[in-house]
């Protein structure tokens, strides 16, 4: 059986994965935290926590709330910063078989440019995933990915500052996700991943206050799966670059739905918090499905529900 997928066919380096199952940024640390729990080298790729230029402490507590079939988080990009990723994490990743993708996030276009430059050519880093679901400080805090123009500007800038394959990660918090997807594809994105979390909130009625320290958070987990699937299906029909499906994937069947909707690869996120082996379980279930159904190549399943 062939499960391998090429996620950056137009890029010189390419981004060839042995299989389509990846981990989602912010839910699997730097991979190192999970390496004693199962053979993480069997995964298609690992995406690390969102990385900023300087280390960040994140938002005030509480930063997590359970919701029906989901989780609301307002971690606020707590991370060790690009310098520590390069010095402490990349040398470990360089010894791994599984490719590691660094998720980057900036508050200005210049910060994205600088991050792309600093991470370019670092051994152990196979690609960048650009999180455009964060506030653009210079534009009054609107998410970069809420509109096509700023989304394209970030993409063009990152592409101009790195030779690594660039995956642009879309936010669902936009009026027309297909339009944003087309803009980033035209700006040179090698692949598109989606979705990031949906904006939400919870109120603690006993305190009569918002539960999260920063009032709003991002919703993830099974609760968002139908929305994510709809968006992945829509985007896969709107662009001709590979699409990576994310949102509530917990079981092999969830993963297969995204692949049949048109995703060339998938990411497992919130499911890691209840089952750290979730990405491997999803992979093994997809392999079993292929065996049972006599599918020789994963390509036969990608977009199967569209034909
Ligand atoms: C605790 C937590 C932290 C996250 N941190 C990041 C991040 O740093 N960068 C990013 O692009 N997405 C981040 N995400 C979003 C996930 O990568 C993913 O897009 C989203 O949770 C939807 O997938 P899921 O339902 O499988 O979790 C985070 C999600 C959670 C739950």
Q: How far is CA 49 from the centre of its chain?
A: 10
- Which residue's CA lies nearest to atom 11 of ligand 1? 131
| pLDDT the model gives residue 139 | 80
**Which pLDDT tens digit goes with each residue over 70-87?**
999 999 889 999 999 999
Map 171-240 to HEC letters: CCCCCCHHHHHHHHHHCCCCEEEECCCEEECCEECCCCEECCCCCCEEEECHHHHHHHHHHHHHHHCCCC
More confident residue, 135 or 255: 255
> Which of 105, 232, 251, 269 has most ligand 1 atoms within 8 Å of CB, for mutation?
269
CA 273 to chain centre: 16
Which among 218, 224, 273 is the best mutation to test ligand 1's pocket, defined by most ligand atoms within 8 Å of the CB?
218
pLDDT tens for each residue of 211-223 = 999 999 999 999 9
Tell me what pLDDT residue 307 has.
84
Query: pLDDT-derived band of residue 140, with 50, 70 and 90 as boundaries?
Result: confident
Mean pLDDT for all residues in the chain: 97
Does position 135 have pLDDT exceeding 90, yes or no? no
What CA dihedral angle connects 45, 77, 164 and 236, to 10 degrees? 70
Residue with tokens 């990349």: 90
Give the model's confidence band at 235: pLDDT under 50 very low, under 70 low, under 90 confident, else very high.
Answer: very high
Tens digit of each residue's pLDDT (9 = 90 or more) over 3-49: 999 999 999 999 999 999 999 999 999 999 999 999 999 999 999 99
**Rounded Cα–Cα distance for residues 244 and 167 (Å):** 9
Residue among 61, 72, 154 nearest 115 (CA): 154
Distance 27 CA to ligand 1 centre (A): 6
- Residues enclosing ligand 1, CB less than 6 A? 24-27, 49-50, 71, 73, 75, 77, 103, 131, 169, 196-197, 220-221, 224, 246-249, 268-270
């Amino acid at each position: 059986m062939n499960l391998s997928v090429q996620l950056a066919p137009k890029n010189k380096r390419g981004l060839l994965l042995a299989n389509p199952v990846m981990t989602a940024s912010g839910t699997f640390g730097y991979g190192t935290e999970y390496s004693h729990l199962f053979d993480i080298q069997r995964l298609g790729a690992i995406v690390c926590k969102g990385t900023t230029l300087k280390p960040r402490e994140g938002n005030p507590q509480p930063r997590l709330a359970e919701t029906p079939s989901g989780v609301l988080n307002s971690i606020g990009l707590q991370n060790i910063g690009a310098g520590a990723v390069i010095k402490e994490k990349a040398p470990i990743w360089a010894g791994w078989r599984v490719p590691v993708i660094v998720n980057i996030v900036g508050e200005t276009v210049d910060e994205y440019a600088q991050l792309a430059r600093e991470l370019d050519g670092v051994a152990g880093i196979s690609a960048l995933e650009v999180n455009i679901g964060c506030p653009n400080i210079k534009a009054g805090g609107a998410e970069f990915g809420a509109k096509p123009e700023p989304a394209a500007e970030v993409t063009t800038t990152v592409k101009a500052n790195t030779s690594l394959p660039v995956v642009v990660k879309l936010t669902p918090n936009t009026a027309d996700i297909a339009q944003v997807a087309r803009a980033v594809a035209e700006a040179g994105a090698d692949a598109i991943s989606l979705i990031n979390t949906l904006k939400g909130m919870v109120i603690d009625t006993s305190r009569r206050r918002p539960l999260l320290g920063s009032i709003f958070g991002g919703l993830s987990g099974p609760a968002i799966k139908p929305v994510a699937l709809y968006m992945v299906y829509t985007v896969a029909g709107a662009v001709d670059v590979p699409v990576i499906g994310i949102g509530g994937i917990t079981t092999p069947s969830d993963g297969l739905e995204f692949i049949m909707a048109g995703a060339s690869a998938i990411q497992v996120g919130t499911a890691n918090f209840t089952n750290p082996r979730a990405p491997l379980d999803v992979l093994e279930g997809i392999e079993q499905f292929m065996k049972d159904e006599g599918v020789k190549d994963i390509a036969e399943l990608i977009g199967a529900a569209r034909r």
